[in-house]
Amino acid sequence: MNQNYLKTIRNLKMIQRRLAASAESLSCPPPLSHQLPLWVFLAFSLFFTFTSERQASAWGLQKELGPTWKDSYLISKVFEKHSIDFCLDIADPQQFSPQNLEIEVKAALKVWLAALQPVDGSPVSLSLVDCSDANYDLKVEVGPELAYPKLGGYFLQRKDHNPEHSYSLIKIPTTYFYVSSTGTRYATVDFAMWYPQSSSHSSQPGAPFETFLEELSLKEKLTVWDFAETNHLDYISVFRSTYRLLIHELGHAFGLCDTYESQFEIECDHQHRSTQTSSEQPDSVMKSSNYFYLTADDIQGASEAYRRASELAGH
């Protein structure tokens, strides 16, 4: 009881912020005020903590992870060739450093690849290629958005002029602004802007940026709220940063669906999900996206996606 209670208290502020900021990384956050009485959040947190600990890991796979689009998913690249080639298309390199984003993409990929070690122990090579390359597996675009202006980030399966080339596309729009309940506008920012002054990692001053990200996601395993609170940063600004967005969107590229309520039935394959409703799904990268690390549910989902890729390959 004491352990659960302490865990509940720690999650309380995170839950308040999450409800106010977003239950997803794609569209506008739910219009919930965090001015509700403290006891409401405490009751919710107690219920969430105890019920989530009683159930097994929950997950869901995308409906499109099937014969038609399987080759566009990164999980298929891991299974078939143990390598991922990615390219960056950045509209404003002065605002979003290509060098920093390359490091962030690789770090976010390693977060998901680490979850696959128990089912596929082979190393996966990661290579940055030019977007003129005809065979890249992942394209990350950072720039203005015209097609989906209300989305703060998204993933799509793509084929180009070569019908044999299928790939994953992740878009990070620079024209999207989240407007808080107080009227504050939040643009997407490069997570690297907080690296030099961050106090939430144990590496020595001047340690490489990639070391910092590895500690954040694979060793210390901080939530977005933990990182913001430790470094006295605005939570929503951190939530709207590139590295957090990449971790969530890459979850889709590896085959996982959004498990929050508004997208659960739309995205998740009925035959490849562990629950029938979103409310049964515990919090995770693919639900609230409030994590710089994978929860047990995300890890289980990645394993299930790998098994699905194996089935689709006829193994």
Residue range 145-166, pLDDT digits in tens: 999 999 999 999 998 878 789 9
Rounded to two decimals, the pTM is 0.83
Question: In this predicted model, what pLDDT tens digit does every residue of 262-272 receive, in sequence order?
Answer: 999 999 999 99
3-state secondary structure at position 204: coil
CATH architecture classification, 2-312: 3-Layer(aba) Sandwich (3.40)
For residue 236, what is the enclosing H or E element? helix 235-239
From 304, 192, 294, 266, select the one nearest 27 (Cα to Cα): 266
Other residues' Cβ atoms within 10 Å of the Cβ of residue 251: 28
Instruction: Tell me which residue of 10, 40, 64, 58 sits closest to 260, measured CA to CA.
Output: 58
Which of 22-26, 74-78, 166-170 has the weakest average pLDDT?
Answer: 22-26
Measured over all CA atoms, what is the biggest interatomic distance in the chain, rounded to whole angstroms? 59
Mean per-residue pLDDT, 27-47: 42
Q: Write out the H or E segment, with its range, that includes residue 157.
A: strand 154-159
